[in-house]
Amino acid sequence: MLKVENVDKSYKTHGFLKQHRRKILTNINLECQRGECLGIIGESGSGKSTLGRLLIGIEQPDCGVITIHGKQIRDRKQRKGHVSVVFQDYRSSINPFYSVEKAILEPLRDYKMKEISDELLDRLLLQVGLSPDYKYKYPYELSGGEAQRVCIARAIATEPTFILLDEAISSLDVSVQLQILDLLKTLKSEYNMGYIFITHDLQAAAYICDRMMIFKDGQVQETIATKNLPNVQSSYARKLLQNLITF
Ligand SMILES: Nc1ncnc2c1ncn2[C@@H]1O[C@H](COP(=O)(O)OP(=O)(O)OP(=O)(O)O)[C@@H](O)[C@H]1O
């Protein structure tokens, strides 16, 4: 289980005469189980990606604790192999000088896996809907949807227990978005992974998430099961809902 308890985060800002700290996240609490997709929904600047960076341990909270299976996520050894991430910007996520093969196998380089076989690579490619021939391609030869599939293959290569998906479909066109959402759903059940799905797109969240955390100004307004979405209580969540068109 991924667990966040009483987390605050602020950043330094440089004022005219002195430094201040600007609070970005206030008293965040959440839990996500394996096999579950938890959406973090909120408008631009509300702190979603900041929370995402804390969840994968690349930044630390000012206070509070983030654990995975009871172990502190800030400890690299504890999170290694457990948490992967797929970002919005699939193009800059892949080193342009890396072949698809090298990009997908990159997270496995720490593992003593001389035995990383062509078979594993081909399986990963097939699982994300790409033919094994793609391993010889370079990022500039891929469409946006194909590049994001490569990023997803890289994310699942270590068989993580959780994947952070930070606006992972936002740069794709609508039909490709739906294909990627369906792919993510399939992989989630195959690998029994948990997803944290960060988005400002309530429609996409309603399609893939089991629960949603509605986020505003760095604070949780409400957490609700997707099936109960019509019963949201907070006025902000109600406003968001007015824009929802069911798939
Ligand atoms: N490293 C940083 N130093 C200072 N301020 C930061 C830093 N990272 C983020 N911020 C500020 O924190 C606020 C929240 O940013 P964040 O990217 O987390 O929001 P978001 O909800 O993910 O927005 P978007 O949907 O546009 O990506 C913004 O005002 C941003 O300028």
Q: Which phi-psi region, left, alpha or beta, contains residue 208 (left: φ > 0; alpha: ψ -120 to 50)? A: alpha
| pLDDT at site 245 | 47
Helices (H), 111-234: 118-127, 144-156, 174-191, 202-208
pTM: 0.91
Q: Are 237 and 222 in contact (CB under 8 A)?
A: yes
Cα separation of the two ends of the chain: 30
Tell me the CB-side half-sphere exposure of residue 59, using CA atoms within 13 A: 14
Closest CA to 174 of 210, 203, 198: 203
Closest-CA residue to 160 (of 74, 79, 66): 79
Cβ burial, residue 227 (10 Å; 0-12/13-18/19+): exposed
User: Closest residue (by CA) to atom 31 of ligand 1?
Assistant: 45
Alpha-carbon gap, residue 165 to 206, rounded angstroms:
15
Q: What's the pLDDT at 244?
A: 58
The secondary structure of the chain in percent helix, strand, coil, rounded to multiples of 5, reads 40, 30, 35
- Any ligand 1 atom below 6 A from CB of 188: no
Longest distance between any two alpha carbons in the chain, whole Å: 60
| Residue 19: its H or E element | strand 19-32
What token pair was written down for 150? Answer: 């490569």
Atom of ligand 1 nearest to the CA of 215: 21
- Quote the CA–CA distance of 160 and 10 in Å, as a whole number: 29
Give the domains, in start order, of the chain with CATH numbers: 1-82+163-171+195-247 (3.40.50.300)
Round the average pLDDT of the chain to a whole number and report it.
90
Q: By alpha-carbon position, which residue is closest to atom 8 of ligand 1?
A: 50
Amino acid at 121: L
Nearest-CA neighbor of 49 among 85, 77, 83, 80? 85
Token reading at 165: 């998906």
Q: How many A from CA of 44 to the centre of ligand 1?
A: 8
Q: What's the pLDDT score for residue 110?
A: 64
| Ligand 1 centroid to residue 103 C-alpha, Å | 27
Spell out the per-residue pLDDT of the chain, length 247, in tens.
Answer: 999 999 999 998 877 667 788 999 999 999 999 999 999 998 889 999 999 999 999 999 999 999 998 999 988 887 878 899 999 888 788 999 999 999 998 888 766 555 567 788 999 999 999 999 999 999 999 999 999 999 999 999 989 999 999 999 988 888 899 999 999 999 999 999 999 999 988 889 999 999 999 999 999 999 999 999 888 888 888 887 876 544 4
- Classify the complex by whether its ipTM is higher than 0.90, answering yes or no: yes
Q: How far is CA 133 from CA 54, 99, 116, 129, 145, in A?
A: 36, 11, 17, 12, 16
Strand partners, 213: 40, 223
Predicted local distance difference test score (pLDDT) of residue 111 = 61
Of ligand 1's atoms, which has the minimum distance to the CA of residue 47?
18
Pick the closest to residue 21 from 9, 11, 30 (CA basis).
11
Q: Of all residues in the chain, what percent carry a pLDDT higher than 70?
A: 94
Cβ of 37 closer than 6 Å to ligand 1, yes or no, is no
